[in-house]
A and B are shown apart, each in its own frame.
Chain A
Amino acid sequence: MRLKIDGQEVEVPPGIMVKDAAKRAGIRIPGLCDHPELEPYGGCRLCLVEIDGIRGYPSSCTTPVSEGMAVRTDTPALRNLRRTILEMLLSQHPCICLTCERAGKCDDIREAMRKVPQSMGCRYCPKDQRCELQEAVELIGLTKVELPHLGDIKEVVRGPFFDRDPNLCILCGRCIRACEDRGLGVISFIFRGFDAEIGTAYEKPLEDSGCRFCGACVDVCPTGALAERGSKWAGVPEEMVVTICPYCSSNCQIGLEISKGRMIRVKPEESKLCVRGRFGLEFLGRNRIQRPLVKKNGRLVEASWEDALDYAAKELSLHRKDRFALFTSGILTNEALYVAKKFASQVMMSEAVAPDVSSLDSRPEDLPGPMVVVGDLAKTNPATELWIRSQKPVVVSAFGTLLARQAGQWLRPNPGEEALLLASLAQALKGRVEAAGSVSSEEIGRAARGLQGGSVVVGPDCGPKVRKAASDLAKSAGGRLCLVGRNCNSRGAAALGLNLKYDQALKALSSGGLRAACIAGCNPVRAQPELAEALSGLDFLVVQDLFLTETARLADVVFPAASFSEVDGTFLGPGGKILQLRQATPPLGKPDWQILAELGRRMGAIGFDFCDHKAVREEMQTLDRAEQTDLLLGSFEEKEPSKGSPLLVEGPSLFQFGSGTRTSRVSDLQYLTREPVMEINAEDAKEMGLESRVHGGKVRRDV
């Protein structure tokens, strides 16, 4: 499609807006309410243009291009309009610095000015030099604001992760649209005219209004109205390193903003982050161990790397074969997992194991056809869930999860009967439609009708029985099974077959069959406190971790590991795709693969002198992958609940991850999970004598 903008011939694809067409031609039009990731809005009126044949001044961010259009973006009338509009906007904004003739020259004299409780101008604003209002003023060339300043000073609202300063808000509504885009609508315009602001119903705190703290609102805010508290005054980053989020298996790309060797902020990089990726990485700098620790007289004391490695190598060589196991998990890189497996099998003549179950060839986004989903993905894999939700799948869930409430069809079995329901769906596909527990045969029939050729997605919070039933259902439907992994590199761990002997190793540990163990990238004592006894009964335990975890406290040697942001490496994506991790900050420990390789070398093994992660990677290329999905179902035992006794279903939490080793070091995540909630049927509560404690009472659960 061809059009003329300011006399310049431009060729653009049809359907785009005039403003984007101008941008392609290198013509900048100001604007504060539109955003590349949001639907066109046309609220701020700064992007007005003149178009031949269209009356008045249409907003270029909402006007689609058409053939032969003649657009003018910079006329005296437009300049005048824009200046007036911007001036009115600034009459409710602390803007003294924006039009100050000494702007930028006051740096020498503004010592500690930021300690004022309120932003009075740009030099007191967390968004200084990153603010789009500053850009607009420059682009429009506004030099003074003659309108009187309007409006009262409003209170800054503090909440988890970010502050909201209504005095800096220009009511562009981007945050509201970003929140709606996530299907939440937690915030809205409230009140009208001069009183209008952005808020929640009855101005309740965000945490009581269904906010998931994904930070999408903060990311689109053009001013300092929404500012991350952790990095409020960290200013402009020196560089940004694009890497992969270290939490769930959605593998979102994240941009780490780095200043003075420290990560100051996390930005989405073509991804829709959740609270964990966006705000949950402050553990990187919290109470890290930086020197190896060796147990002497029952106490862990600091030691040099040389001494600690020599000691560990000497002791480990006494416990080879079935007296040893290496426990790891899918939070480590492919390189670390590969060296762990090699170390365990070639040096220790034993096994490296990880509890990770995952499909190798697909992720939900690649699945064809209709979908059945089991598991609370909105909490375990938020980015994946966002996509799945848009597909309106059939959802099997005993609880009113976010996905269930917005499903195409919600099948609601009794808790613990999910596998039974999946089996009934499989039966229904073969023509035998019967009710399953609390779900009627009509509902099952309706769900089954659209499922031929469809795929089954199983969340990481589902047990082996559900995985098995889902696998059978996928076969009956002639579709695919997708087991969503728990950790960022569950796929890598599963591809190495680390889950195959996990049960066996765990049993050996708890029954006293092991004499020594290495633990890398997991904290079993936090996840299963009952393992503490077995682990302290070992003759020798080596732990490598970022922190002195509950497990590390029991160790004979603790090695400080490097975190995801401190290493180069890879995760395994679907279908063998390699996802790149890039080093962004100086390491406080050593990469996990390097620690294990150095142990291997010291124990006389050959093939452990990798010079860097790339050398490990090269050796891995030749690796055979366990491709059969059946193998990956895992064989973890599940206790049958005894009939008549209450069944406690533990659900995942959005604000914690895994055992909580990392997320518990993020203070606002800790705040949001300060009170775990137990739900119980009112009649059961009565029977169990808990009635008086329902609604805010406390219940004790023995682990």
Chain B
Amino acid sequence: MNQAAVTIMGLEIGIEERVRQLLECLPEKDGALIPLLQRVQSDQGFISPEAVKAVAEELDVSESIVYGVATFYAEFKLVRPGKHHLKVCLGTSCYLRGGQSLLDHFSRKLGIRPGKTTEDGKFSLETVACLGCCSRSPAMAVDNVIYGGVSLDQTDSILAGLD
């Protein structure tokens, strides 16, 4: 498949065309950068270099500006997320109860830094500021399922449980 093409409802269209479609749903071009990036991300799962280029062209701004905004907000992902998405909480409570060593452990085990995806596309790793489960810290989430009071011993079985 062409790298810059996307499949929408079984049809393959260019990313430029898709960005144009997404922009049409917005009231005006002025101030459309963030909402457009949000739509591109929910549509594609992440924001690809091709999408950055297409958004820049559609909005008449430079790629650097689009990239600058996309890298500023933690919400935007610039790498394709893995099949399973791991979030490790580094909020105050989890941090104090070993969140950092939990993160380091996953990072070593998977061979990726937070914010990245493993080469086989199976896992991606990310930090979050709070999962709202401070009472069960250190907490983490795998594909939106929360695990509380996670010890290092448990991590292998968590990973093993994912196909």
Please give the residue numbers on chain A whose beta carbons come within 8 Å of chain B beta carbons, in ascending order: 184-192, 199-202, 209-210
Contacts and interface: CB of A to CB of B under 8 A. Distances in A.
Contacts of A190: 64, 67-68, 71-72
Contacts of A189: 68, 72
Contacts of A185: 61-62, 64-65
B72 A186 contact: no
Interface residues of B, number: 15
The dominant DSSP class at the B interface is: helix
Contact of A199 (B49, B56, B64, B72): B64
Nearest to B52: A201
Contact of A202 (B49, B62, B72, B74): B49
B148 to A, nearest CB: 28
Interface in B45-68: 49, 52, 56, 61-68
Contacts of A187: 64
Given A186-B64, A201-B62, A209-B64, 12 more contacts: A185-B64, A187-B64, A188-B62, A188-B64, A192-B71, A192-B74, A199-B64, A201-B49, A201-B67, A202-B49, A209-B62, A210-B62
Nearest to A185: B62
Contacts of B71: 190-192
Nearest to B74: A192
A209 B63 contact: yes
A192 B70 CA distance: 10
21 contacts: A184-B62, A185-B64, A186-B64, A187-B64, A188-B64, A188-B65, A188-B67, A190-B64, A190-B67, A190-B72, A191-B71, A191-B72, A192-B71, A192-B72, A192-B73, A201-B52, A201-B64, A201-B66, A201-B67, A202-B49, A209-B62
B64 A200 contact: yes
Interface centre among A187, A189, A191 (most CB of B within 10 A): A189
Contacts of B74: 192
Nearest to B53: A201
Residue among B52, B67, B72, B73 with max Cβ neighbours from chain A (10 Å): B67
**Most chain B CB neighbours (cut-off 10 Å) among A188, A199, A202, A210:** A188
A524 B52 CA distance: 46
Q: 10 tightest A-B contacts by CB?
A: A188-B68, A185-B62, A201-B67, A201-B63, A188-B64, A191-B71, A201-B64, A200-B64, A192-B72, A188-B65
A186 B68 contact: no
Contacts of B73: 192
Nearest to A183: B62
Contacts of B49: 201-202
A470 to B, nearest CB: 29
Contacts of B68: 188-190
B33 to A, nearest CB: 12
A147 to B, nearest CB: 22
Contacts, number: 45
A201 B52 CA distance: 9
Interface string B71-87: 11110000000000000
B67 A202 contact: yes
Contacts of B66: 201
A184 B65 CA distance: 10
A161 B52 CA distance: 28
A554 to B, nearest CB: 47
A186 B64 CA distance: 6
A210 B62 CA distance: 9
Contacts of A188: 62, 64-65, 67-68
A202 B70 CA distance: 11
A164 B61 CA distance: 23
B37 to A, nearest CB: 13
B50 to A, nearest CB: 11
Nearest to A209: B64
Nearest to A210: B62
Contacts of B64: 185-188, 190, 199-201, 209
Interface in B80-127: none
A255 to B, nearest CB: 29
Residue in B61, B62, B66, B72 whose Cβ sees the most chain A Cβ within 10 Å:
B62
B94 to A, nearest CB: 20
A166 to B, nearest CB: 15
Interface centre among A185, A192, A210 (most CB of B within 10 A): A185
Q: Which of B64, B65, B67, B72 has the most CB of A within 10 A?
A: B64
A192 B78 CA distance: 14
A180 to B, nearest CB: 9
A191 B56 CA distance: 18
A652 to B, nearest CB: 23
Contacts of B72: 189-192
A375 B68 CA distance: 33
Contacts of B67: 188, 190, 200-202
A530 B117 CA distance: 59
Contacts of A192: 71-74
A266 B124 CA distance: 50
Nearest to B63: A201
A187 B68 CA distance: 9
A190 B76 CA distance: 13
A523 to B, nearest CB: 37
